[in-house]
Structure 1
Amino acid sequence: MSFVRQRTGRVLLSAALLAMAAPALAQDRNLTIGIGGSPTSLDPHFYNASPNISLTMHLFDRLTEQDAQARIQPALAESWRAVSATVWEFKLRPGVKWHDGRDFTADDVAFTIGRAPNVPNSPGGFGGFVRAITRVEVVDPLTIRFHTAAAHPLLPTELASIQIISRHVGEGAATEDYNAGRAAIGTGPYRLVSYRPGDRTEFARNDAYWKGAEPWSRVSYRFVANDAARTAGILAGDLDVIDQVPSTDIARLRRDNRLSIAEIQGLRLIYLMTDFSRTDTAPVLVSDNEGRPLARNPMLDSRVRRALSIAIDREALADRIMEGTAKPTGQWLPPGSFSYNPAVQTPRHDPEGARRLLAEAGFPQGFRLTLTTPNDRYPNDARTAQAVAQMWSRVGVRTAVDALPWTSYAARNSRQEFNARLAGWGSVTGEASYMLVNIFGTYNRERRTGASNNSRYSNAELDALTARAAGTLDDAEREKLLQEAVAMVDRETAMIPLFQLVNFWATRRGITYEPRMDERTVAMGARPAN
């Protein structure tokens, strides 16, 4: 397979021309957005979670970026090419300025690649995106090369998830400096005005933005956890755009001529994962039917995990809990995606089969379990967990639900304080390796795998297969290897997939929103309709 030379970006106005044009383009339009997921930091490398990324995308750019359909586009890099099997060269966009007026250069990119995987106390970092890079070479201020140990065709795609920060502000800066605003200086379309964790972030337009000034002079980006409150806010005109439109309200909002609904099949899987971290110690949040501790974690037995999986009626979850806004699945990508495996089917609801598997595993009478879930992160997350708990209880696994705010859930999850838990993962690269590396890859800080593997699942055979796929240049062969890995995860029941979300946004009349497969809610996707 020959190396693929990526297209160059469209010609843009220079920064000087943009600055001259800004007064003509700028209008005093404000935008208020209500989001359902809670961002936890302004540090763009602190937590690989969609609410955090959506928030910081207003401030920081990337070398490459993904459009609404998850296709790679030029951004801070105008073009890129593989100059050899193990060297990628990126040509950077000239004339880009940081919010403080300093020039953006290749040295900032080199600094970013060094920092991104090494942020202290990160509950789920970005090391997986730069794991292949062994050396960064600054050729000149607008040319940078990434050296890899082996061929790595996915690097331009993976770098679309790394937001670029400056060396002159970022050197020595901690996450607290970003949250305080001192280091929150990017090249992005908006500048930071204020950040109030758990409440709202205020942005002001960057009139000198290299793409051209955005239509909104001010953006108020608000966290509104309660579904009913988001709906009430847009109906009252207090909010202009909301995401995670409650499934119970979609039909009603569609009938309201003051509003519009935008939707797209998403890349987000909602799934269940169990604890693999305790192999020689007593498990947490599981006991026998009398409440006595178990000597060994039953979740380490694949028969128990498979029993829990087939005890779930996914069609009922999609129809009754999600009300048609989700599609049952047995894997983490929607049909038609690169590396989707058509041989991996949605597990059939089989309560009797679940009881047999539990008996085979030594639990004919079942056991007690706590299922932990966020209650303000994903659409109907706590309701879904409650429904799953009822289904598990019917086959003998008496399940209680512990529903937590996302900020608490995320911190405790990173410390392996849960056993069974409900989670979500959006495969923003549009192919299987993103989840294979970050969720199923063996946790290893040095190799930068398993950055979000909070359950500590480990399978050396799967790791090797993932690595082979990552280094395979031929697309067809790489897809076969990834499909094999998808099948292996299914055979092991390494996770319990539930459904894939359809993403919904509601906008006030006079505003359009371009729906994104990666579910990110950004002011850059909203436009005045007139």
Structure 2
Amino acid sequence: MPQHAAPPRRSPFLPRLLLGAALAGALLPAWAADLRIGLSSDVTSLDPHFVNIAPNIAFSDHVFDTLVKSDAKGKLVPGLAESWRALSPTTWEFKLRQGVVFSDGTPLTAEDVVFSLDRPATIKNSPGPFTSYTNQIIKKEAIDAHTVHLHTASAYGPLPLDLISIYVVSKKAAENAATEDFNSGKALIGTGPFKFAAFRKGERIEVTRNERYWGKRPEWDKVTFRILASGAPRLSALLAGDVDVIENVPAADLARLKTNPQVTLAQHTTWRTLFWQLDQFRDQSPFITDHAGKPLAKNPLKDLRVRQAISKAINRQALVDRTLEGLAVPASNINAPGIFGYNDAIPMDTYDPAGARKLLAKAGYPDGFSLTIHGTNNRYINDEQVVQTVAQFLNRIGIKTKVDTQPVATYFGKARAHEYSFALLGWGSLAADFTLRAIAGTPDPDTGWGTWNWGKYSNPKVDELVSRALAAVEPAERERFARDAAGAALADLAVIPSHHQLATWGLRKGFAYDGRIDEFTFAHEIRSAR
């Protein structure tokens, strides 16, 4: 296949421009066959089975493949499996592509698939395990080199959707490997469009084109991912020509960028919903006190009336319009509109601070209480400002609120260890029952339920409806149960929905990207536009 000419590239010797000058200035071209991407969140590990968070998953797609993939709009499409079918309600067959090899030349076989599905359960100390996607598989069979049968204990319709999250690694390379062996590149052998070149944690990752890739060859000889978690430096890098593409364009700069002829913006609706997780399992919660700083005798967040008061105190439309500058829509559901199982009968909580104060009084807190709320400061759109804005809303109803935001690399570990009382989380999924299983399902390490249920919420009715949705092989029946489960969870305020994000990418002139519903930035889908 002939090599493509790459888009314009600014000379690396030109000095970095100040933001204002860069907005007005021209980006001087040169030509090269590599691509530089500014990422908005750190990739904490290159091990594709270590932690189930979006930045790590997005990178994994460059080096590895899954049996089933999703396209830019969230539709399931063939990956390493060219076809799949349910042989019975409890048995699925996956037929692998012929002729696929890993980047080291080793042929892909069914044994690699079985090993990859077994591996997540062997990962120790994962801050976000993948086992919720694999625990329902009770038996895995390599029928021949290109046929895999997966068995579940009971009927389980959405198994193919689970498998978009499990990357297939080389058994030969990874059988005795630790997570650090992936970070060093030793075990980072995949069938994806690129292969490993270098990794400097917290700074950059470099990959080169995998000439053995089975699919459409990417346009780029080399891709460099730079970790630029702060918005201003990330945008400055784009405008100075230090990177070619950035994700999560700072909302405050969108209007100016739209008038800059040297920059193209790409936007896409997204699956990501942001919501608040609340401690609902401890009698005394670590960041809740009276106004004098004395721990309360009981945890007010366990009272539905308090949760309702907090939800009514949040002016979601103002949050979207002002804090998020229009890059979101208010949320009533735990998943975004258009996602499988979205329940449009769930009402949006009306902003009602007076009603919120009445609910607090009925719950026994007429003067409110004191609360520290936690969130990230480098993961979601204007996340630190979102936390601060919600704190202001809560202050208005008598909940004296402090704010503590942290980098995502620190935050997730502490949140999953249940160190917080009230914490922000963003979650994206292609199905409501999947989200509810992870976010609102009663935590159970044996089944993988509740792996991201930080507040340890538990409701047998929700569990039952989610179980019935997951057991339904017929799509309409499954979606009906998923919607009912969402309605039950949100009526009980298992979490407090905030907003659904829009995703925005910034590209230098000469580059094009259509964007994705999952918000991922895939170098193999970025192209030259001349």
**Structure 1: distance between partners of 2:218 and 2:229:** 27
SS of the aligned residue for 2:65 comes to coil
Q: Could you tell me which residue of structure 2 aligns to residue 490 of structure 1?
A: 490
Q: After the TM superposition, which residues 233-248 of structure 1 pair with which residues of structure 2 at under 5 Å, given as runs?
A: 233-248=237-252
Q: Could you tell me which residue of structure 1 aligns to residue 173 of structure 2?
A: 169
Q: Could you tell me which residue of structure 2 aligns to residue 393 of structure 1?
A: 395
Tell me how far 1:117 sits from its aligned partner. Answer: 3.5
Q: Could you tell me which residue of structure 2 aligns to residue 478 of structure 1?
A: 478
Aligned residue type for 2:296: L
Checking the alignment, whether the CA contact within 8 Å between 1:30 and 1:218 is kept in structure 2 is yes
Tell me how far 1:24 sits from its aligned partner. Answer: 5.2
Q: After the TM superposition, which residues 81-92 of structure 1 pair with which residues of structure 2 at under 5 Å, given as runs?
A: 81-92=85-96
SS of the aligned residue for 1:208 comes to coil
Q: After the TM superposition, which residues 340-419 of structure 1 pair with which residues of structure 2 at under 5 Å, given as runs?
A: 340-419=342-421
Q: Alpha-carbon deviations, 1:423-474, whole Å to 9, x = none?
A: 10011x2x20121111111111111211222222222221111011111122
SS of the aligned residue for 2:258 comes to helix
Q: Could you tell me which residue of structure 2 aligns to residue 457 of structure 1?
A: 457
Q: Could you tell me which residue of structure 1 aligns to residue 115 of structure 2?
A: 111
**Structure 2: distance between partners of 1:302 and 1:45:** 36
Q: Could you tell me which residue of structure 1 aligns to residue 81 of structure 2?
A: 77
**Structure 1: distance between partners of 2:185 and 2:280:** 38
Q: Alpha-carbon deviations, 1:478-497, whole Å to 9, x = none?
A: 21111111111111111111
SS of the aligned residue for 1:255 comes to coil
**Structure 1: distance between partners of 2:66 and 2:5:** 24
- Which is further off, 350-359 or 331-340? 331-340
Tell me how far 1:291 sits from its aligned partner. Answer: 0.3
**Structure 1: distance between partners of 2:224 and 2:232:** 19
Report the RMSD for the aligned CA atoms in angstroms.
1.4
Q: Could you tell me which residue of structure 2 aligns to residue 210 of structure 1?
A: 214
**Structure 2: distance between partners of 1:218 and 1:65:** 23
**Structure 1: distance between partners of 2:447 and 2:410:** 28
Any unmatched runs of 5+ in structure 2?
A: 7-31
The answer to whether the aligner puts 1:324 opposite 2:338 as a matched pair is no
- Which is further off, 370-379 or 332-341? 332-341
Q: Could you tell me which residue of structure 2 aligns to residue 6 of structure 1?
A: none
Structure 1 length as normaliser, TM-score? 0.93
Any unmatched runs of 5+ in structure 1?
A: 1-20
Q: Could you tell me which residue of structure 2 aligns to residue 17 of structure 1?
A: none
Q: After the TM superposition, which residues 217-236 of structure 1 pair with which residues of structure 2 at under 5 Å, given as runs?
A: 217-236=221-240
Q: Could you tell me which residue of structure 2 aligns to residue 433 of structure 1?
A: 433
Structure 2 length as normaliser, TM-score? 0.93
Checking the alignment, whether the CA contact within 8 Å between 1:58 and 1:189 is kept in structure 2 is yes
Checking the alignment, whether the CA contact within 8 Å between 1:432 and 1:482 is kept in structure 2 is yes
The answer to whether the aligner puts 1:151 opposite 2:155 as a matched pair is yes
Specify whether residues 264 and 212 from structure 1 end up closer, same or farther in structure 2 by C-alpha distance, changes over 3 A only: closer
Checking the alignment, whether the CA contact within 8 Å between 1:25 and 1:213 is kept in structure 2 is no
Checking the alignment, whether the CA contact within 8 Å between 1:277 and 1:416 is kept in structure 2 is no
SS of the aligned residue for 2:449 comes to coil
Checking the alignment, whether the CA contact within 8 Å between 1:259 and 1:509 is kept in structure 2 is yes
The answer to whether the aligner puts 1:523 opposite 2:523 as a matched pair is yes
SS of the aligned residue for 1:433 comes to helix
Checking the alignment, whether the CA contact within 8 Å between 2:89 and 2:473 is kept in structure 1 is no
- Which is further off, 382-391 or 252-261? 252-261
SS of the aligned residue for 2:168 comes to coil
Q: Could you tell me which residue of structure 2 aligns to residue 9 of structure 1?
A: none
Equivalent of 1:102 in 81, 85, 106:
106
- Which is further off, 380-389 or 145-154? 145-154
The answer to whether the aligner puts 1:338 opposite 2:311 as a matched pair is no
Tell me how far 1:26 sits from its aligned partner. Answer: 9.1
Tell me how far 1:411 sits from its aligned partner. Answer: 1.4
**Structure 1: distance between partners of 2:213 and 2:234:** 31
**Structure 1: distance between partners of 2:451 and 2:122:** 11
**How many residues align structurally?**
505
**Structure 2: distance between partners of 1:467 and 1:48:** 22
SS of the aligned residue for 1:501 comes to strand
Q: After the TM superposition, which residues 4-83 of structure 1 pair with which residues of structure 2 at under 5 Å, given as runs?
A: 21=1, 29-83=33-87
- Which is further off, 23-32 or 437-446? 23-32
Q: Could you tell me which residue of structure 2 aligns to residue 180 of structure 1?
A: 184
Checking the alignment, whether the CA contact within 8 Å between 1:264 and 1:504 is kept in structure 2 is yes
Structure 1 residue ranges (4+ consecutive) displaced by more than 3 angstroms after TM superposition = 23-28
Checking the alignment, whether the CA contact within 8 Å between 2:158 and 2:473 is kept in structure 1 is no
Q: Matched residues, percent identical?
A: 42
